[in-house]
Structure 1
Amino acid sequence: MKLLLYCDLPPNKKNAQTIIDHISSFEKYSQFEIQTVSSRLGLPYDLNLSSFDVIVVHYSITLLTTSFYLESYIPLKDQRKLRKYTGLKVMFIQDEYRRVNHICDRINYLKIDVLFSCAPIEIARKIYKRLSPNTKILETLTGYAPDITDAPPLKPHKSRKIDVFYRARKLPLWLGTLGLDKYQIAEKFLINYPRRLHVDISTFEEDRIYGEDWLQRLCNSRTTLGTESGASFIDFSGDIERDIAIFKSYNPEATFDDLPKHLTSLDKKLCIQVISPRIFEAIACRTTLVLFPGDYSGILIKDRHYLELKKDFSNFDYLLEILNDKTAIETIATTAYKEIIEPGQYSYKAFIKHFDSMIKNELAKK
């Protein structure tokens, strides 16, 4: 069977490795014959869609037309082609908190058969309530554990030079308080940490690290900070993003706490809170996780797979005592590796095995 993967494969040096790993996993592990079309200019003019049994629209291209996404927007001419295609149509989607109603309308227009959402299934059903009942919603993760079997042997913690490593950026206020966590955990840590620790923490864009450089830095660190991924605003109409952007344009120094109450009243009413691929990358590098409280998709167990740092830093002194115990820190990293990475259930190979099984079942119904 032939499968077309329509995506935007980014340059290795300029994007998070997880996007590249996710796209590459289809050709690497799928039982199907995969043809990958990576294009920001749309599908090739002479590509015969009817020659494929399945078309997969990857999350690296989008149905949104905002300026931020315009480079990876699916052209209308290709949307018309996809609508006419009668085979199995599958879509992976991320950034599910923006202009949800518009996205639902476009998915309905395309007649997508299966939608892979990163939101927990009970949340996804609320987000995509406008979808046709003919579209099946399935849950997936934002990314999976990287394969670093070909990498050099991992250093023991006593040989690692960095005590605490982390990178983040300041996200827009319309992501809600959950979006602020990624930035605030870094800022608060930098204010409070004792200078005897060797930290490599930054929220500046020019300090961001990608690809193999990211994994190498993780592998040279004893611990790394982290938070859940997602947003605590689900913006169905686009009004939340628009109204907050307007407020910020007149109040450029405003923080989330400065926003008028009518703009923040929907915060945490409906959330996407999931485990990030960065978590799996850290565990694969046997780097101990120091995380804000969260569910982490039900995968991680506090004090077994990670150390919890309260959002108000009320347990920071206690955490510092644990960080001084290199044996205890390494034990947590080793346990997480053995229980999360070694069994393979969160690998890209397992992800594609599940994907292939789903495709076979859905094709049988066609």
Structure 2
Amino acid sequence: MKIAILYSNHTPLLSYNDDWLESFFDIKNIFVKKYNVLELNLFQSQRILFEYDYIVLLHSTNSNSFTLPKLYRLGCLNFRKAKIIYFVGNEYKLMREKINFAKLNHIEYIVSQLPQDTAEWLYEKTNSKIISLPHALNAKVFKSINSFEDRIIDVGNRSYEYPWYLGDVDRVKTLEFLDKLDVNLKLDISTNPLKRFNRQEWANFLNTCKFTIASEAGSSFLERDDKTRKLVNEYIDKNPDITFEKIYEKFFKNYKGESINGKCVSSRHFDAVGTKTCQILLEGRYNDILEPNIHYLELKKDFSNINEVIEKMKNPIHIKEIVDNAYEYVMDNHTHKHRIKYLFSEVMK
């Protein structure tokens, strides 16, 4: 079997792109070659269509825009021998374009980060086979180096505020939780883009943290046509001083459009599991992978259990049980090796 992996240039701050790219080269007895789509010439673009059994389009080729060669974007992918495995990135924006791309090019397999039922709804108007393949642990990079007792930061994180068109401010709520903690705890939290880390720096940072705090990724109001996202962005452009509360009141409180909850587990959740950093996560589904108070400390969105969470943070025996449970479970079931094995088991059916 011969596989061509197509990817695009991406910021080193989004290290999951590297995780997925590297994971395909761990497959034994299969020829795999990678191509940066921004460097493909016309001859290479044509040759790939017929030389390989499968063409994998990774998230970076379509996350914020399509970076594929013009030849591919205009429908020439239809003239191919290879079957296409299409990893869709950022499944909360440009969904009309991403869905139409799959339909225009008769894509055989759509790989989604979303839970299977959510992905089936999102892509139901394509004829593609839908494969839910959420992020996973890169155990080669994200591993525990420092013991819990030797970590110098009590709660640490790097993040950024999600755009308001997603319909919630869950990430802001995680920051509000920090205001309730003991003032003597050492915190290292930032939403400043200039203070974010590359992959190895992030792994090193997590190894200095006892706890990290996060929420699910994705949209609370996932649409197939991006209608509300565009309206919210236009409204903010015209009203730059608007608050989220007013945005929510106008666009989401009495929402009557066609949408579904598009929240999902993210790569950062698995990164923390690998470094044995205890996670405090806002309540959510997390693709039905991570279980509350078994793999992480669950914080209710209304903070109704905040005192309980704070008390659990003071119990090192309980915290060790949480991080060990999460680590053993993920190592046994949710590494990139597991994901790639599952992907091809579905493709070969």
Q: Provide the TM-score with structure 2 as the length reference.
A: 0.90
Gaps (5+ residues) in structure 2? none
Hey, what does 1:77 align to over in structure 2? 71
Residues 28 and 284 of structure 1: is their aligned pair in 2 closer, same or farther, counting only changes over 3 Å? same
Gaps (5+ residues) in structure 1? 362-366
SS of 1:289's partner is strand
CA distance in 1, matches of 2:226, 2:215: 25
Hey, what does 1:130 align to over in structure 2? 125
Residues 278 and 5 of structure 1: is their aligned pair in 2 closer, same or farther, counting only changes over 3 Å? same
Per-residue CA deviation, residues 336-355 of structure 1 (Å, 9 max, x unaligned), is: 212222x2x21111212222
Hey, what does 1:364 align to over in structure 2? none
Which residue of the other structure, out of 131, 135, 144, is the alignment partner of 2:136? 144
Give 4+ residue runs of structure 1 displaced > 6 Å after superposition.
Answer: none
SS of 1:60's partner is helix
Per-residue CA deviation, residues 11-52 of structure 1 (Å, 9 max, x unaligned), is: 6xx3222210111111222542111001335x3322212111
Which residue of the other structure, out of 101, 104, 107, is the alignment partner of 2:96? 101
SS of 1:40's partner is helix
Given that 1:229 and 1:274 are in contact with CA atoms closer than 8 Å, whether structure 2 keeps it comes out as yes
The number of aligned residues is: 343
Per-residue CA deviation, residues 61-85 of structure 1 (Å, 9 max, x unaligned), is: 11x8xxxx34x52243223332211
Residues 332 and 9 of structure 1: is their aligned pair in 2 closer, same or farther, counting only changes over 3 Å? same
Is 1:350 matched with 2:315? no
Residues 266 and 5 of structure 1: is their aligned pair in 2 closer, same or farther, counting only changes over 3 Å? farther
SS of 1:90's partner is strand
- Tell me the amino acid that sits aligned with residue 313 of structure 1: F
SS of 1:138's partner is strand
Which residue of the other structure, out of 268, 284, 287, is the alignment partner of 1:294? 284
Hey, what does 2:152 align to over in structure 1? 161
Instruction: Decide which moves more: 322-331 or 286-295.
Output: 322-331
Given that 1:9 and 1:23 are in contact with CA atoms closer than 8 Å, whether structure 2 keeps it comes out as no
CA distance in 2, matches of 1:269, 1:257: 20
Residues 228 and 267 of structure 1: is their aligned pair in 2 closer, same or farther, counting only changes over 3 Å? farther
SS of 2:77's partner is helix
Is 1:245 matched with 2:233? yes
Is 1:24 matched with 2:22? yes
CA-based RMSD of the aligned residues comes to 2.2
Q: Percent of counterpart pairs with the same letter?
A: 24
CA distance in 1, matches of 2:198, 2:256: 34
Per-residue CA deviation, residues 187-224 of structure 1 (Å, 9 max, x unaligned), is: x0343222111111111212212211101111111111
Hey, what does 2:112 align to over in structure 1? 117
Is 1:225 matched with 2:219? no
- Tell me the amino acid that sits aligned with residue 262 of structure 2: I
Given that 2:111 and 2:132 are in contact with CA atoms closer than 8 Å, whether structure 1 keeps it comes out as yes
CA distance in 1, matches of 2:270, 2:79: 39
Instruction: Decide which moves more: 350-359 or 258-267.
Output: 258-267
Per-residue CA deviation, residues 263-286 of structure 1 (Å, 9 max, x unaligned), is: 221589511122111111111111
